[in-house]
Amino acid sequence: MSKDAGAVTIRVTAHGVSRTGPDPGMNYAHDFHAGNFADIIKHAALAATVAHLARKSKPFVVIDTHAGAGLYDLEAPESLRSGEARGGIFRIADRPATDEPALIAGLRRALDAVDDGRGAIGTRRRYPGSPLIAALAMRPGDRLIAAETVDPVRARLERVLAARAPRPGPRIEVLRHDGYGVLKACLPPGERRGLAIIDPPFEEVDEFDRLARAMEAAIERWASGSYLIWYPVKRADAAEDLARRLGRALPPHVEGLRAELSILPPGSTADGMTTTGLIAINPAWPVEEGMADLLDWCAHRLAADPKRPGHWHVSPLPRD
């Protein structure tokens, strides 16, 4: 069954994928976290990758496995309660762009497209999520697949994409299915070119294992695709195991990049998430070339203590 919502096609069932994902009653809500330091890293890489794909004339696909609501109000009670945007996007958007690394440019363009710069708290009130960032950089003939299991969140996403996706723009499908199942069902895509972004909430105890198994299967089915995989670094051993499993899954000709940023100085600890990780498989060259500059800049600009920069590292995925 499907229905039209402006430029968006909303498919309630597709590909024979059953709904086996997170319980919609789970308490994760990205409204609390939108625009935080982790979003800056993954969304800068996302915007740069989609822009790079759009440089060639052939169409491409973007698959967003855990899409979220698509647009977030940074002056909503949830965002104000967490205060995470103050340590993230407000530290970027409220300052001149003169010293920004190249990878920030695409994210800033997406911000400009959804906001008038007249927020009451900072110069921004709205922050775009990954499906909207992708859609804004896509063209007619390209295709966006966004999976979201939580009904109220998916309804918000449908409204956002119907109202704000470019027209004419990409073909858009919003799916009511588990993102890992959608990833399996959609690969390899007919376009052959494209990106999958995998950004789970990490509230399930076995999420790292589910993610690794899904990616091992995805790489086997579509080794030529680009992937961006986000993860929180709360347990170093879990992050290390994920990197090693994905590195072992890569064919010899496929490159993998692992990037991590902590907003704390080396040796410091604090409650909550203070380190974010991103794995890029078949990374677009702007991401490969610019990630170190982005992380170094963010380690200073987004540090929890402005007088004590955070730390970061970039390395190839281990293959042993």
pLDDT digit string (tens) for 179-195? 999 999 999 999 999 99
> Chain-wide mean pLDDT for the chain?
88
12 has a pLDDT exceeding 50 = no
What's the pTM value of the predicted model, to 2 decimals? 0.90
Query: Which pLDDT value is given to residue 204?
Result: 87
Polymer length in residues for the chain: 320
**Residue-wise pLDDT tens digits, 226-266:** 999 999 998 889 999 999 999 999 999 999 999 999 999 99
What percent of the chain is modeled with pLDDT above 90?
74
CA distance 204 to 24: 13
**Burial environment of residue 296 by CB neighbours within 10 A (0 to 12, 13 to 18, 19 or more):** middle
pLDDT band of residue 36 (cuts 50, 70, 90) is very high
Tell me phi and psi for residue 217, to 5 degrees. Answer: -70, -40
What percent of the chain is modeled with pLDDT above 70?
88
Task: Provide the annotated active-site residues.
Answer: 199
Average the pLDDT over 126-140 and give the result: 96
Number of C-alpha atoms within 13 angstroms, CB side, residue 32?
A: 8
24 has a pLDDT exceeding 50 = no
**Burial environment of residue 265 by CB neighbours within 10 A (0 to 12, 13 to 18, 19 or more):** middle
